[in-house]
Structure 1
Amino acid sequence: MIHRGLPRAACGQRLVLFAAAVALALYSGTAARADFSRLGKLADDGFAISAEARLLDGSRETLGSIAPRQALSPASVTKTYTAAATLERFGPQHRFTTRLKSLAEAAPADGVLNADLWFEGGGDPGFTSEKLWRLVQRLHQAGVRRINGDVVVSQWRFGPVECATTDRCEARTRVDNAYSAPLSSAGVNFGSWCVNIAPGLAPGEPARVTHCDGPPSLVSVDNQVVTRPDDSDTRISAERVTTDHGDLMRVDGQISANAWPRDEYRGASNGAEQTADTLTAMLERFAIDVSGASRVTTAKPPDAAQTLAAVEGKPLQELILRTLNYSNNYMADVLALNLVETPGAELADAGRALESYAAGLPGHGEVTLESGSGLTTDNRTTAHGVNVMLESMYHQSSLFPSFVAALQSPENGVMRFIRRGPESFQHNVMLKTGTLNEPYAVRAMAGYFRTAGGRWGVFSVLINGDRSTPYLSWSKVLEPLSADLADMIDTH
């Protein structure tokens, strides 16, 4: 019998081609599912979604999108705009400088400064009591032992900044958190008081409460914390209230007799006045006598005033790392206020500076930013706009390392709630989250990813509820979002 079929080699080639076609079909089917289809189901519960993920190579291929040009609240994803704008304006190694000035002689022979001592706030969002200590130490090293005048804290660059959100407005009289701290170019310790709570000497005794930075006179304390036997639960609540006599830290609850001491931070009612009190206490600890009082002003130090001591803050890239990693609202808003060149800046001015930065990004589109922190739902942008900003930073080789290093890896991030999802999401993504619950739910996430093939991409997801939508936990967002992003990563 004569066989008219294909030669054996040709049959082998056909089998190879068939297998390749099947593999391609399977791959294509998987790739077709690499979109935001899982995340999109949140729309069934009434949530508005703006999402976009795309590659950054020459193809700029869009891997998934849902209403990418719909403007929604980004919550703390706003901080990525603040980080990008300040990096472009100042550069990663910029340091904000805080100075002590006076009209008196820089090195008085008798150690007496016969003039006011001016503290000129430099707008350093990371200015802490450690830096203040160094500043006073340098004044002491300059030979100053007595000040025949007042201690004047100048916040001429900006401050006191008007409250623009409900949280910060309420915090002027009462606050149970640190993120609503007041804003000032002359602030210290992120605008918050800190008290240390340690167990008493025996069960039944009051806890021992001291100020973290100095004598108890810095802020009054109403201590209602009781020491309990070893291995008891430690439960402490704290709030700062403003009385006719100034700020009062009210602490309540219980602490185990064998518990480690713990610090409690609560926003002060006035940032510059807090600095004045802390500075006065440190002058006292260095045995520098002050004949006058301490006061706060929005005036600049006199032009003829000489710098007696100065201290530089940490490099901007380190400030941004802390701002984004810990989503520090105080630091973000102070950084944004530094973008305003005219004195006496308000948050609205900082917002306009950020809007101007975004307007300069080709193709960004609609944006409304009223603060640098995202503490308000009045901030609005789109997933597409956020990605345009992220792409702009990616292409700036001198800035991108500082920018991307400030984002979190899900596997190793300081925020434990993001440590979930598929392995490729955990290992191949760097992100910033945003969360608000009032007046409605906001869950946002944006950042970079690397695909299995080594290609860079950007993604942004903004999810907004309204007064009628149910509570939205992060698990309900991360479960579908991480799976969608993992598919995009694995199939490219």
Structure 2
Amino acid sequence: MRIVTKTLLKRRPRLIVGSLVAAALALLSSPTVMADFSRLAELQDSGFAISAEARLLNAPEVTLASINPNAERSPASVTKAYLGAAALNRFGPQHRFTTQLVSTGEIDANGVLQGDLVFDGGGDPGLTSENLWRLVQRLQQAGVRDVAGGLVVSQWRFGPVECITTDRCDALSRVANSYSAPLSSAGVNFGSWCVNVAPASTPGEPARITHCDGPSSLTRVDNRVTTRPDNSGTKLNAERITDERGDIMRISGQISTNAWPRDVYRAASDSAAQTAQTLHAMLMRAGIVMGSEPRVTAEPPPQGASRLAAVDSKPLQEILLRIMNYSNNYMADVLALNLVETPKAQLRQAGEALETYATSLPGHGPVTLESGSGLTTGNRTSAHSINVMLESMFHQASLFPSFVATFQSPANGVMRFIRRGPDVFQTNVMIKTGTLNQPFAVRAAAGYFRTVSGRWGVFSVLVNGDSSTPYLNWTKVLEPLAQDLDEMIRAH
């Protein structure tokens, strides 16, 4: 009896450990865990087409829930996650885009540049007026006091880029929003004009409107804003229209005498021409007199041109943070065009570069990406394919921190509409959303989550309507998605 008892005691710990391991593996691989996309799936009853998948990463990989995971749907702005991944793989997180002023002319003893001053657009998606002021300052430091020739803005890398979406095509003549300007490698301020509206000192007088970068407006202004007495409220409507003489900012409404000035942004009809006007005005304000009016060209700077001034962009990881957090379509498509290696790039070529990246990932399915912004419903991918891309980035230790940082936490993201759902969902998820309303509704979301036990997971949800489906409020997608993901996070 003693020998038998001793033998049983020796074997029992191994049996217990083995049973626990088997039970754990069974739990992880079991599809019976009470967590799925059952709430989200109810949207199918209203005619919406869904592709969705959520799964845990690292061995053993576990699919937690899915709805038609391989079906191709429009991802809308979730496309920008592909863009971020492709750009990081191509350039690296610390890559910077350089914009420069060059010339073949010499600077004489009086500081006069004997030739044209060429603005070589570097395709910086985040180029701003601040960068232009630095260029002007560095030009002065190089000894330039006046320019005998003129300012030439070169958009030889890409631009003007053919419009393929309604908003950008409409923006050629009229627009009531920002970030929809025609694309260019020489664009500044996201292709948008900015004017500042301030109240006059006396009620009844027109408001004072100036350009955001100076005391006068760089484009014509049709001022229809009336100053009202204190505390009357401020209501402004603005659109940019274009006629044979160029762009006009038409602004109407009212502003109170005690109101703070307001900045108003509207897309320009020609991004490179806007840069030419803005930089020319800055040069003149700095006392650098130009010999002729500014002009735009699609030709590269002349052979042998020397650099006079240059400015670098923010690092790519910071550019991506703005693109993803604010879903800036102008920045996204400019960055995508940088993926094209040949000059005079067009959006379809940028899409093909993204497709090449995506299809290089093992396990990725068919994909069509016509743009990097996701503005067009012609973009097509599946929930499973998006998860393949997300998982690929997760396993790249040198790129993943920069990539995941561009996604928003629902608890404190800049987009307030995602701040909903259970606490666990809000604090354990990093998400990128996508929205389209025309020609049909698209509500998409993808990203990462951490379970209560600390495991990483990926999820992708693409909900597409058609001409017969009702308007799709984000609440109808986010609330069931948040509940479903919350249960998955808690269950593991």
TM-score when normalising by structure 1: 0.93
Alignment partner of 1:181: what SS? coil
Matched, 1:265 2:265: yes
Are 1:146 and 1:290, in contact at CA under 8 Å, matched by a contact in 2?
Answer: yes
Q: Distance in 2 between matches of 1:355 and 1:209?
A: 45
The one-letter amino acid of 1:287's match is: G
The one-letter amino acid of 1:385's match is: S
Q: Where does residue 94 of structure 1 map in the other structure? A: 95
Matched, 1:465 2:457: no
Q: Distance in 1 between matches of 2:133 and 2:199?
A: 28
The one-letter amino acid of 1:131's match is: N
Q: Distance in 2 between matches of 1:262 and 1:459?
A: 40
Alignment partner of 1:218: what SS? coil
Q: Where does residue 370 of structure 1 map in the other structure? A: 370
- Structure 1 portions without partners, runs of 5+: 1-19
Q: Where does residue 13 of structure 1 map in the other structure? A: none
Q: Where does residue 8 of structure 1 map in the other structure? A: none
Q: Distance in 1 between matches of 2:252 and 2:406?
A: 36
Q: Where does residue 55 of structure 2 map in the other structure? A: 54
Q: Distance in 2 between matches of 1:183 and 1:214?
A: 24
Q: Where does residue 37 of structure 2 map in the other structure? A: 36
Q: Where does residue 392 of structure 1 map in the other structure? A: 392
User: How far did 1:256 drift?
Assistant: 2.2
The one-letter amino acid of 1:95's match is: R
User: How far did 1:232 drift?
Assistant: 2.2
* Length, aligned pairs only: 470
Alignment partner of 1:323: what SS? helix
Q: Distance in 2 between matches of 1:216 and 1:438?
A: 38
Are 1:31 and 1:488, in contact at CA under 8 Å, matched by a contact in 2?
Answer: no
Alignment partner of 2:282: what SS? helix
Matches within 5 A, 1:275-354: 275-354=275-354
User: How far did 1:31 drift?
Assistant: 6.2
Matches within 5 A, 1:86-485: 86-105=87-106, 107-485=107-485
Alignment partner of 1:458: what SS? strand
User: How far did 1:30 drift?
Assistant: 11
Q: Residues 255 and 448 (structure 1 numbering): CA distance in 2 closer, same or farther, change over 3 Å?
A: same
Q: Distance in 2 between matches of 1:476 and 1:227?
A: 42
Q: Distance in 1 between matches of 2:361 and 2:28?
A: 36
The one-letter amino acid of 2:231's match is: D
The one-letter amino acid of 2:394's match is: Y
User: How far did 1:103 drift?
Assistant: 0.5
User: How far did 1:316 drift?
Assistant: 0.4
User: What is the CA deviation profile of residues 91-145 of structure 1, one whole-angstrom value per residue up to 9, with x for unaligned ones?
Assistant: 000000001000112x532201111110000000000000000001100111111
Q: Residues 160 and 29 (structure 1 numbering): CA distance in 2 closer, same or farther, change over 3 Å?
A: closer
The one-letter amino acid of 2:88's match is: L
User: How far did 1:180 drift?
Assistant: 1.0
Are 2:29 and 2:62, in contact at CA under 8 Å, matched by a contact in 1?
Answer: no
Are 1:424 and 1:486, in contact at CA under 8 Å, matched by a contact in 2?
Answer: yes
Are 1:195 and 1:263, in contact at CA under 8 Å, matched by a contact in 2?
Answer: yes
User: How far did 1:28 drift?
Assistant: 12
Q: Distance in 2 between matches of 1:28 and 1:343?
A: 50
User: What is the CA deviation profile of residues 427-458 of structure 1, one whole-angstrom value per residue up to 9, with x for unaligned ones?
Assistant: 00001000000011000000000000000000
User: How far did 1:53 drift?
Assistant: 0.3
Q: Where does residue 64 of structure 2 map in the other structure? A: 63
User: What is the CA deviation profile of residues 46-101 of structure 1, one whole-angstrom value per residue up to 9, with x for unaligned ones?
Assistant: 00000000001211100110000000000000000111101110000000000100
User: How far did 1:216 drift?
Assistant: 2.8
Alignment partner of 1:136: what SS? helix
Q: Distance in 2 between matches of 1:434 and 1:108?
A: 55
- Structure 2 portions without partners, runs of 5+: 1-19
Q: Distance in 1 between matches of 2:488 and 2:136?
A: 55
Select between 142-151 and 427-436 the one with higher mean Cα deviation. 142-151
Alignment partner of 2:78: what SS? helix
Alignment partner of 2:38: what SS? coil
Select between 253-262 and 234-243 the one with higher mean Cα deviation. 253-262
Are 1:108 and 1:143, in contact at CA under 8 Å, matched by a contact in 2?
Answer: no
Q: Distance in 2 between matches of 1:27 and 1:360?
A: 30
Q: Distance in 2 between matches of 1:27 and 1:353?
A: 37
Q: Distance in 1 between matches of 2:189 and 2:196?
A: 14
User: How far did 1:204 drift?
Assistant: 1.8
Are 2:188 and 2:275, in contact at CA under 8 Å, matched by a contact in 1?
Answer: yes
User: How far did 1:244 drift?
Assistant: 1.5
User: What is the CA deviation profile of residues 347-387 of structure 1, one whole-angstrom value per residue up to 9, with x for unaligned ones?
Assistant: 00000000000010111101000000001101111000110
Q: Distance in 2 between matches of 1:313 and 1:142?
A: 20
Are 2:231 and 2:256, in contact at CA under 8 Å, matched by a contact in 1?
Answer: yes
Q: Distance in 1 between matches of 2:180 and 2:363?
A: 34
User: How far did 1:215 drift?
Assistant: 4.5
**Identical-residue share of aligned pairs (%):** 70
The one-letter amino acid of 1:149's match is: G
User: What is the CA deviation profile of residues 224-254 of structure 1, one whole-angstrom value per residue up to 9, with x for unaligned ones?
Assistant: 1112222223211100000121100001111
User: What is the CA deviation profile of residues 186-211 of structure 1, one whole-angstrom value per residue up to 9, with x for unaligned ones?
Assistant: 00000000011112212222111111
Q: Distance in 2 between matches of 1:383 and 1:261?
A: 45
Alignment partner of 1:38: what SS? helix
